[in-house]
Structures are given as structure tokens and as C-alpha cells.
Amino acid sequence: MSKWPLVCLIASACANNVPQDRSTGPDGRVKGALPMVFAENEAKVRGVVTYPGGDRVDWKQIDLPEGKKGRLDLQMTYTTPRPGLRVAFDVFDQWNVPVKNAVANGKGRIKSASIDKAKGKYFVRIYAPRRGDAGQYRLTAEFHEEVVNTGPGVLALNIPDPPKLPDVPPPPSTCEVFDRNDPVCGNKCPPGAPVDWKGCVGPTPPTPPVVATPPVPVPPVVVAKPVSARVLKVDVNNGGLDITVGGGSELGIAKGWRVTVLRGETSNPLSGGTGTIVRVNKTTTIVHVSLTTNQIGANPNVLLQP
């Protein structure tokens, strides 16, 4: 039996009894993301995600040409074993932080997103949003390099030679060395002048003022900023859930931060959605919440604040 008929069969089963990652491969986690290979600035990949089949998430990795910058266009089309099912995708940067301006839009079974000034590495997460969702997808990535017109350049300009300057007269005397015959030395006391030279006899020169030492500047206090993250994994623990969210110590997140689960795709807090940080890793944070898996599935966004 091919994989697609098997997805159709599993999608009709009871989704609540199957863990979402029971049958997932290495690409079910961001560390196992499969690279998308570009040919003539375009890369394509196909796959299947199925919540009832235990393979809810597929991660893909996009590496843009080194030193290049431009627009990255993403488009996904998908088919489902029966009407009413959905497949979605979202985009994360190389630090596993959601790219806010890369929101997948579109009608029906076509979703697309664009990232302006794109450069470096990106991760794309294709997933079945709800229990019972399953589908076969095709993701296309196109990179449009930003071309900078630098013009013909300085070497291509025809610049004539500058006109010749007239002979420069010798500089006027400053009597830096004593010369009895130099009239400028008449009222000065340069090195080598006798002590009774008229330029050396005069009032005692004033004491130079004391220059105050400037104060050492105090470096500004750096205030940690709130971090918006998305739920990557859900585990049942101690009558609640341990959720793994994208973003960790690299973004300044610390264990004492406040955690709030947001309602849907809004910035409003979910009732009862406060959580406690259990552990902070380099790129992820584990939070304990008193919610259900259905509530997290419908509200996958989290706000972490110092």
C-alpha cells in the first residue's frame, strides 16, 4: 500500500488515541529539518503530514546563497483525503524565532508567504493544525536576488590631470633655532639663545591650567525585551502539560520570566493560560501550563516577558 492511501485510512480513525509524533521521522523536529536544494533559484519538495497517523509535523531547511540578499517567496498547495481538512505552514529564522512578516495567506488549498530582505538560513514547518487533519503537500521556494546597480565605477571615469601649481615660496621664519641675524628671533627665546638675550628676559610665563579628567561614561543598562514564540511540542505531565516553545537563552529568556498563552492568533491572553518556566535551553524553553492539548492546539502562541 502506498503512503497516500494509508494516510486516507488513518485520517478516518480516532485521532484522539494517537500521539502526534508517534510515527514521525527525523524531520519531525527542527534539528532534523530536511534541506531544500535550489536549482536556478528555485527549490521544490513534496510530503505528507497526518495528525491521526502520528506524523503531524515536517521541518524543511532553506539555505540562501552566502552573502546574497533578496525576496524569498514560498507557496504550498495540498490535497486532503476528505473535505474540511487542512494543512498549514509557518517560517522561522536561523535562531528558531517566528518570522513575523512571513504569514501564510491564501484561499482554499493554496498558501503563500514572502520575506523581503531575506538572507542566511530559514526553517519552514509544515503541519496538520487540528486533530484529524491530514494532507499531501507540495512546497515551492523561489529566491529573487536583490541587484544593486553600482554604475560604471570610478576607474571608468575620464578625469583630466590637475593643472600644475606655481612654485611655492619658502615658509616664513618661526625662529625655532636661535639665529642672531634672524629679526624674528629678536623678541623670542628659542633653543640655543644666551640667557641675557632680550627675548629670553621677561616675566615668568604663567602656569598652564590643570585639565580635569573627564568622567568615565557609565554603560547604559540593557533591558531584556519580551519574546513571542510558538509551541513546538506538547507533553502531558503532573496533571498539566509541559510545552516546548521556540526561543531560549540566545534571546535572553531566563527561568524567572512570566509566560502567557495567547488566544488564537491574537495578542490577548488566554484565560487560565499562565505558565511556569521549567527549563531554558539555548534555542528552546520548556513551560508547565494547566491546560489541555486541545487548548494548546487551538492557541499555539506564547508570550514570554521578563
pTM of the model: 0.46
Question: 179: which DSSP letter?
Answer: -
The pLDDT score that the predictor gives to residue 13 is: 47
- When mean pLDDT is compared across 39-43, 141-145, 169-173, the lowest value belongs to 169-173
Domain end, chosen from 96, 128, 145, is at 145
In a domain, 156, yes or no: no
242 and 140 both lie in a single domain: no
Contact 162, 84 (CB under 8 A): no
199 pLDDT exceeds 80?
Answer: no
In a domain, 134, yes or no: yes
* Structural domains in the chain (count): 2
- Count CA within 13 A, CB hemisphere, residue 156: 4
281 pLDDT exceeds 90?
Answer: yes
Domain end, chosen from 145, 170, 187, is at 145
Domain end, chosen from 110, 145, 180, is at 145
> For 4-58, how does the pLDDT look when each residue is reduced to its tens digit (9 = 90+)?
555 444 444 444 577 888 888 899 999 999 999 999 999 999 999 999 999 999 9
> For 217-257, how does the pLDDT look when each residue is reduced to its tens digit (9 = 90+)?
887 766 788 999 999 999 998 888 999 999 999 999 999 99
- Mean residue pLDDT of the chain comes to 85
259 and 136 both lie in a single domain: no
- State the residue range of the domain holding 50: 3-145
In a domain, 82, yes or no: yes
197 pLDDT exceeds 90?
Answer: no
DSSP secondary structure string for all residues of 52-114: TTTB-EEEEEEEPPTT--EEEEEEEEEE-SSTT---EEEEEETTS-B-TT---B-STTEEEEE
Instruction: Tell me the one-letter amino acid at 71.
Output: R
CATH of the domain at 40: 2.60.120.380
